[in-house]
Structure 1
């Protein structure tokens, strides 16, 4: 079993000519990261792509790319009248750009929560067609994210029933917040998760709570119940991937802890330190799980 840990660049200024990243990325390598996950919206394709690829090639760091079928909420109010066809046009454009970076994973925040479920089904069927046309089948994972089509487990279950080849990025912190409960306690929740988890091929490993998508320190005893829930769910994902992929399983994960307003105001620990500490802790945790699953 191969486990690759990616560091999100969320909230970290690249600087002119990516100079700040160029100084920072060797530190990530020393911390044990396998690669970086990069938001395509912060890059200038004509100028930054070659620089980023050169920096990562020099350090032997992999690249995962985040794309958006419409601007994220942090960029301002969402335009009205955006249907599946409009999202698919932007999805194709973003995918063509992302492919230039030769990513091992492309994480898509896409669709929108206000659609009827069948509009989302139309969209995701279209994404698979575009993936195939661009030679990217199996590379793209669609994120469980608030404001997007996969905003809760129940609508996601419906979409996956109609689009069974869809691959998912599990950011379950969003679902715990949307559902406002520990996710794997109720029988009905577990039944839905059992249908979703086989589709998970990428993990955004952020621990949230029933009232916040990011807790300030996952190892604090006050978050014990939430931490144990997420660890059970991630263990479930790894076991499922092992059952499907056997010795060829490759787990990719991002300890995706971001700045305020995700990181609670006044926290004693900087969000970047939380990401790095959690990344190392979960790397060991995932390796322990994998060691128990891999045949001797």
Structure 2
């Protein structure tokens, strides 16, 4: 099984696409995870830069803003089809809302499955706060009720929502692990979805917990006979990254942390 590492565009939007892709390639990433605009000229800039630097694409959907479910479904489908048209490795989707009913979120899962069936592009639904899979116990029930869906494992959100390292939700985590095809490798803790710096000694317990979950996903994908697993180290900029008061200076460097996390996991999974 190959493991491919993707760099988030999040936090680097101020860097033009070509020099950004040059940085990504030089650092050792295999691709970029990014939203894709609807405007053709902007899409051309992105795809040209990715091709020039021989980088893969994971499309990202996060624009689940509409409260009305009918409007939400229309927007959701348009974004998924726009992403799928570029033939990404997969689409990471922040699907649904925490305040939608299970039936409403199921409608969105079914819509995504139809897009996958029509295009061949896998859609991995992210375990993200404010979305359908916002908490371990809720996600477990939705995964049972929607057996066709696969997920992006970002358990940092679940730590924050539950104010724990999920010690009392092992069954829900195990189910999520079995359905994971993509990892957002960010380390969270009981009070936030992002530790200040995973290299710091005060966060080693949290890092170890996340590494254990990711190890289980890698082992599970191997057992399933998967040919590919994708990982995006997804530490974000401020306000995900803690910042000093008044100056708003980030307490650590987002780029350095994501490169560190990629190299840590590359070395860990080489064997």
Task: Report the TM-score range of the alignment, normalised by the length of the smaller protein.
Answer: over 0.9
What displacement does 1:123 show? 2.4
Counterpart position of 1:75: none
Matched, 1:143 2:126: yes
Matched, 1:219 2:199: yes
Counterpart position of 1:239: 219
Please list every run of 5 or more consecutive structure 2 residues that lacks an aligned counterpart in the other structure.
245-249
Matched, 1:158 2:141: yes
Query: Which of 31, 38, 45 in structure 2 is aligned with 1:35?
Result: 31
What displacement does 1:66 show? 0.6
- Using the size of structure 2 for normalisation, the TM-score is 0.92
With 212-221 and 120-129 compared, the bigger mean Cα shift is at 120-129
Q: Which runs of 4 or more aligned residues in structure 1 lie more than 4 Å from their structure 2 counterparts after TM superposition? A: none
What displacement does 1:131 show? 2.4
- Using the size of structure 1 for normalisation, the TM-score is 0.85
SS of the residue corresponding to residue 192 of structure 1 reads helix
Query: Quick check: which one's helix share is greater?
Result: 1
Counterpart position of 1:55: 49
Structure 2 contact 241–252 (Cα < 8 Å) conserved: no
SS of the residue corresponding to residue 37 of structure 1 reads strand
Cα offsets for 1:178-213 (capped at 9, x unmatched): 011012x33xx1111122211100000000111111
The 1:39–1:130 alpha-carbon spacing in structure 2 relative to 1, beyond 3 Å, is closer
SS of the residue corresponding to residue 3 of structure 1 reads strand
Structure 1 contact 68–94 (Cα < 8 Å) conserved: no
Please list every run of 5 or more consecutive structure 1 residues that lacks an aligned counterpart in the other structure.
72-78, 292-296
Matches within 5 A, 1:122-271: 122-132=107-117, 134-137=118-121, 139-183=122-166, 185-186=167-168, 189-245=169-225, 248-266=226-244, 267-271=250-254
What displacement does 1:249 show? 2.8
Return the alpha-carbon distance in structure 1 between the equivalents of residues 80 and 239 of structure 2. Answer: 28
Counterpart position of 1:285: 268
Counterpart position of 1:8: 8
What count of residue pairs does the alignment treat as equivalent? 266
